[in-house]
């Protein structure tokens, strides 16, 4: 089978949707399928593992690093030439619309993965100032119109599917297919006792935050928790991995809270270093209410690192209180970090075990079934 993946964001930008798409590509290719990518053009074009067809684009100024396609160019000619069997969109914006256009023109089954809570994102990045309730109304109108069109909508977690249905989204079919985690790459064996020393954190108790540094990720909640714990936990520190438009904001906040000497911002880490970071820290902390799945949670668990996660949307689906991590509500992050650190070693094996249910292979098989369902629905509808 040949699959065309449409991406609203793509390298050199790295976010959850890009990582999820790359993981899906790798899983499909290992099972004998071929994948081609259609993405917004960028200069210079980064090296690619597979065929990437770029479409003319312009920068989305409200969110540095993101681009909007301005022309379909030779999109249909490319898809005809490649003899694509399935179209799979990983975005909700321009590429979602173009992928649906291509699907209808070429009569190719279409799937869309719902990676982003768009009604929340627009509150941060709307190009036009708008009251929150009005913005949300328009976004849900758009989503209801968009999501009724693919043969299959993929939700990365059950809470996301439930939320779509609760907001009146009608879909031909909706399948829950999480992004899988590579348990051979993310493993406790990647622990390196010297890793933290590279960042001046040798001998410290280090908690970890991984993700794009944007305001909706709510790293400020983690920084506030660290500031509360600082007087009683003199050896506690935070390693922040990732980059993004709010990096300066969070760095300034750490300084304002008087904990900048306890917080290290690494920027992006290489694919080789990231598993070592997970395995070498005591816990991952995630306060984002924006996650449709939160792949970093599974990457940490597979590494034997328990997770301190906010009790919201998809996060509780993967964390069992006291077994592989601890959950918190707004205002109680510091308490959850303390609970997790007190039992981090005893939770290691449960963390690894819970991640195995979401291996890349098992999630790829679910994705193949979703493709088969899309083809079946398309054939029934002529």
The tens digit of pLDDT for each residue in 193-222 reads: 999 999 999 999 999 999 989 888 999 999
Query: Whose CA is closest to 197, among 237, 228, 145?
Result: 237
In this structure, the answer to whether residues 118 and 67 fall within a common structural domain is yes
**114 has pLDDT over 80:** yes
Range of the domain at 292: 188-356
- Please report the beta strands in the chain, taking only residues with DSSP state E, as ranges in sequence order: 2-6, 34-40, 52-55, 57-59, 67-69, 86-89, 110-113, 152-155, 174-176, 205-210, 236-241, 263-267, 283-286, 307-310, 325-328
Is the bond preceding 123 in cis, omega lying within 30 degrees of 0? no
Same domain (yes/no): 126, 219: no
**Do 229 and 194 share a structural domain?**
yes
* Residue 121 binned pLDDT confidence (cut-offs 50, 70, 90): low
What integer pLDDT is reported at residue 129 of this predicted model? 57
- Say if residue 138 is in the same domain as residue 201: no
Number of domains in the chain: 2
**Rounded Cα gap, residues 319 and 242, in angstroms:** 23
Query: Where residue 250 sits, what CATH number does that domain have?
Result: 3.40.50.2000
Q: Are 222 and 228 in contact (CB under 8 A)?
A: no
Percent of the chain at pLDDT > 90 equals 75
What is the predicted pLDDT for the residue at 65?
A: 65
Q: Are residues 23 and 45 in the same domain?
A: yes
Asked if residue 352 and residue 338 are part of one domain, the reply reads: yes
Same domain? For 143 and 101 the reply is yes
Residue 159 and residue 291 in one domain: no
Q: Is 267 left (phi over 0), alpha (psi -120 to 50) or beta?
A: left
The answer to whether residue 321 scores a pLDDT higher than 60 is yes
- Which positions ≥6 away from 334 have C-beta within 8 Å? 224, 225, 226, 228, 229
pTM: 0.86
Domain co-membership, 219 together with 91: no
Whether residues 235 and 173 share a domain: the answer is no
pLDDT for residue 30:
96
- Verify that 138 and 196 share a domain, yes or no: no
At residue 212, the pLDDT reads 87
Are 132 and 105 members of one domain? yes
| Average of per-residue pLDDT across 254-263 | 97
Structure tokens, 60 = 């989305």
By the 10 Å C-beta count (0-12 exposed, 13-18 middle, 19+ buried), 293 is classed as: buried
What is residue 68's three-state secondary structure?
Answer: strand
Q: In the prediction, which pLDDT does 215 show?
A: 87
């Amino acid at each position: 089978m040949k699959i065309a993946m449409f991406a609203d964001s793509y390298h050199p930008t790295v976010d959850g949707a890009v990582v999820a798409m790359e993981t899906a590509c790798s899983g499909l290719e290992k099972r004998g399928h071929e994948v081609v990518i259609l993405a917004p053009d960028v200069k210079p074009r980064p090296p690619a593992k597979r065929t990437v067809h770029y479409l003319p684009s312009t920068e989305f100024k409200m969110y540095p690093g993101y681009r909007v396609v301005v022309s379909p160019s030779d999109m249909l000619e490319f898809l005809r030439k490649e003899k694509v069997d399935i179209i799979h969109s990983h975005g909700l914006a321009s590429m979602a619309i173009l992928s649906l256009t291509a699907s209808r023109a070429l009569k190719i089954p279409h799937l869309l993965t719902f990676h982003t809570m768009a009604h929340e994102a627009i509150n941060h990045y709307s190009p036009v100032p708008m009251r929150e309730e009005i913005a949300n109304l328009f976004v849900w109108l758009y989503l209801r119109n968009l999501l009724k069109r693919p043969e299959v909508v993929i939700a990365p977690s059950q809470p996301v599917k439930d939320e779509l249905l609760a907001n009146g989204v009608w879909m031909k079919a909706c399948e829950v297919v999480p992004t899988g985690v590579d348990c051979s790459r993310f493993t406790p064996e990647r622990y390196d006792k010297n890793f933290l020393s590279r960042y001046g954190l040798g001998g410290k108790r280090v908690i970890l935050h991984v993700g794009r540094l944007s305001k909706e990720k709510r790293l400020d909640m983690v920084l506030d928790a660290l500031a509360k714990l600082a007087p009683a936990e003199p050896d506690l520190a935070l390693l922040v991995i990732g980059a993004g438009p709010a990096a300066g904001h969070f760095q300034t906040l750490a300084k304002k809270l008087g904990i900048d000497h306890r917080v290290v911002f690494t920027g992006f880490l290489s694919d080789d270093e990231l598993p070592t970071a997970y395995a070498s820290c005591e816990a991952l902390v995630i306060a984002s209410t924006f996650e449709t799945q939160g792949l970093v949670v599974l990457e940490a668990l597979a590494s034997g690192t328990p997770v301190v996660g906010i009790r919201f949307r998809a996060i509780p689906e993967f964390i069992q209180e006291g077994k592989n991590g601890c959950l918190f509500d707004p205002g109680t992050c510091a308490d959850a970090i303390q609970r997790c650190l007190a039992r981090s070693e005893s939770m290691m094996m449960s963390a690894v075990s819970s991640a195995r249910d979401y291996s890349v292979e098992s999630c790829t098989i679910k994705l193949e079934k979703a493709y088969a369902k899309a083809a079946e629905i398309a054939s029934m509808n002529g």
